């Protein structure tokens, strides 16, 4: 029986000495009762030295860091009351290498009194990796911030350039358009058909260029202008724009259905640009429809208000929808006039209102544009 006991004790000792964890037992005064070889290496002291009956020192006396000492006392007191405890600390022994350790404490009930078994694992490599990752994250964050600032500056400079160029082009363009109109109106009898045709092309081109300049100015201002946020009647604004569209061609058969009494918290002038583009597009792309149907409204979805503009026009291929809001990208041919800037401007304005915009369509079966405004 005694031989068996000795055998199992030696077996246990061999196991404890073969593990890479530091394992030791403390009495209720935090003094060493036993330990394995890893503890000897970590602390630079032999087990005999640590466990001498009349010279036992509390483990806290072997810690040079007050922070580690306080942490150990806190978790030891928790463990001695029967609650398993785990923590991490930087261990700085008096006579050995410093390291990061993860320490687990559990109470052991024996006849000799309360004891706590402590298992400590070296996590220095893990901590070094975590530190490297954190430094990498911080460096990446700084790099992203710097690149974002550069991009914002470049965009601001581009907007300023677009605004300046567009603004400066307006006056000479008005002169070209004005004098071309005068020549056609007052001197048409003195011009042959070829000259009149050239003048009409000049007028048409200058008008188209004027539209492009207006769109460029709207795009530049969409990123520069300070938003004036207020509640306004969304339905009234939509009705005004629908009426303006109809006045351009009152001979068309058209039904406008605007949901009444819709309110909106946004910059009214900017949302006017949004609706001018969306309703204007609906009017443009229904020009070959026998009976134009344009609907403007709003609905609730997932706790937010979703505004929409719906038409029964030619629609578009959803496979190309990734180009829908890209500047100077158009999904339709020259049979429909346009600059390719309008929807890009709309997306920028909606984005500044912390919203999003998307569309659904099918070729030949109309389109619906949805957008949200989340400033509230």
**In-domain check, residue 131:** no
Pick 294 or 363 by higher pLDDT: 294
Among candidates 285, 358, 372, 349, which has minimal Cα distance to 318? Answer: 358
Q: Are residues 45 and 102 in the same domain?
A: yes
Q: Is residue 191 in some structural domain?
A: yes
> pLDDT of 24-54, one tens digit each?
888 888 888 888 888 888 888 888 888 876 5
- 130 in any annotated domain: no
* pTM for this prediction: 0.51
**Does 333 map to a domain?**
yes
Q: Are residues 247 and 367 in the same domain?
A: yes
194, 239: one domain: no
Domain carrying residue 212: 136-224
Residue 93 bridge partners (DSSP):
63
- CATH code at position 155: 1.10.287
The top-scoring range by mean pLDDT among 5-14, 113-122, 195-204, 215-224 is 113-122
232 and 166 part of one domain? no
194, 224, 254 — which closes off a domain? 224
Q: Is residue 232 part of a domain?
A: yes
Domain assignment present for residue 272? The answer is: yes
Domain check: are 90 and 167 in the same one? Answer: no
| Exposure string for 39-67, b = 16+ CB within 10 A, e = fewer | bbebbebebeebbeeeebebbeebbeeee
**Per the structure, how many domains does the chain have?**
3
Same-domain pairing of 24 and 86: yes
Q: What are phi and psi of 102, to 5 degrees?
A: -105, 125
- Choose the final residue of a domain: 165, 195, 224: 224
Q: Which residue did the predictor score with more confidence, 351 or 59?
A: 351
The pLDDT assigned to 332 comes to 52
**60 and 186, same domain (yes or no):** no
Q: For residue 179, what pLDDT is reported? A: 82
The answer to whether residues 237 and 203 belong to one domain is: no
Q: In the predicted model, is pLDDT for residue 103 greater than 70?
A: yes
Q: What is the CATH number of the domain that holds 317?
A: 3.30.565.10
Answer yes or no: is 128 within a domain: no
Distances (CA, A) of 139 to 134, 147, 324: 8, 12, 36
Domain boundary pick from 206, 224, 242: 224
Q: Within this chain, do residues 242 and 374 fall inside the same structural domain, yes or no?
A: yes
Give the pLDDT band of residue 127 (cuts 50, 70, 90). Answer: very high
Report the pLDDT averaged over residues 317-345. 67
Q: Which residues of 303-323 are buried (b: 16+ CB within 10 A; e: fewer)?
A: eebbbbbbbbbbbbeeeeeee
The b-or-e profile of 326-347 (16+ CB within 10 A means b, else e) is ebeebbeeeeeebbebbbbbbb
185 in the same domain as 77: no
Mark whether 376 and 235 lie in a shared domain: yes
From the list 272, 293, 282, 292, the residue with the least C-alpha distance to 336 is 282
Give which of 131, 133, 142, 79 is closest to 106, Cα–Cα.
79
- Residue 90 has a pLDDT of 87
In CATH, what number is assigned to the domain containing residue 24? 3.30.450.20
Quick one: 270 and 350 in the same domain? yes
Rg (CA), the chain: 39
Residue 107 half-sphere exposure, CB side, CA atoms within 13 Å? 14
Task: Give the other-Cβ count within 10 Å of 302's Cβ.
Answer: 6
In a domain, 127, yes or no: no
pLDDT at 122: 92
């Amino acid at each position: 029986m005694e031989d068996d006991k000795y055998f199992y004790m030696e077996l246990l000792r061999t196991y404890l000495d073969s593990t890479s964890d530091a394992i030791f037992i403390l009495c209720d005064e935090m003094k060493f009762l036993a330990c394995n070889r890893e503890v000897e290496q970590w602390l630079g002291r032999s087990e005999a030295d640590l466990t001498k009956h009349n010279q036992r020192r509390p483990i806290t006396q072997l810690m040079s860091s007050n922070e580690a000492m306080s942490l150990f006392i806190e978790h030891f007191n928790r463990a001695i009351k029967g609650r398993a405890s785990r923590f991490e600390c930087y261990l700085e022994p008096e006579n050995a290498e410093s390291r990061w350790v993860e320490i687990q404490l559990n109470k052991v009930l024996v006849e000799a009194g309360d004891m706590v078994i402590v298992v400590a694992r070296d996590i220095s490599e893990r901590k070094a990796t975590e530190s490297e990752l954190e430094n990498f994250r911080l460096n990446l964050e700084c790099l992203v911030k710097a690149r974002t600032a550069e991009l914002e500056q470049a965009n601001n400079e581009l907007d300023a350039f677009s605004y300046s160029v567009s603004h400066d082009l307006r006056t000479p363009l008005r002169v070209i358009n004005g004098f071309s109109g005068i020549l056609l109106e007052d001197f048409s009898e003195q011009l042959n058909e070829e000259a009149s045709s050239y003048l009409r092309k000049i007028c048409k081109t200058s008008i188209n260029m004027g539209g492009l300049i207006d769109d460029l100015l709207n795009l530049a201002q969409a990123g520069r202008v300070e938003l004036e946020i207020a509640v306004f009647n969304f339905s009234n604004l939509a009705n005004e724009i629908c009426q303006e569209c109809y006045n351009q061609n009152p001979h068309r058969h058209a039904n406008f259905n605007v949901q009444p009494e819709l309110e909106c918290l946004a910059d009214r002038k900017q949302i006017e640009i949004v609706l001018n583009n969306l309703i204007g597009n609906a009017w443009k792309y229904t020009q070959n429809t026998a009976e134009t149907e344009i609907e403007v409204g709003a609905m609730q979805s997932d706790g937010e208000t979703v505004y929409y503009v719906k038409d029964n026009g030619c629609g578009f291929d959803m496979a190309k929808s990734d180009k829908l809001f890209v500047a100077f990208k158009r999904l339709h041919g020259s049979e429909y006039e346009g600059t390719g800037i309008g929807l890009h401007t709309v997306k920028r304005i909606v984005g500044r209102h912390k919203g999003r915009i998307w569309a659904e369509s099918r070729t030949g079966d109309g389109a619906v544009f949805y957008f949200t405004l989340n400033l509230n």
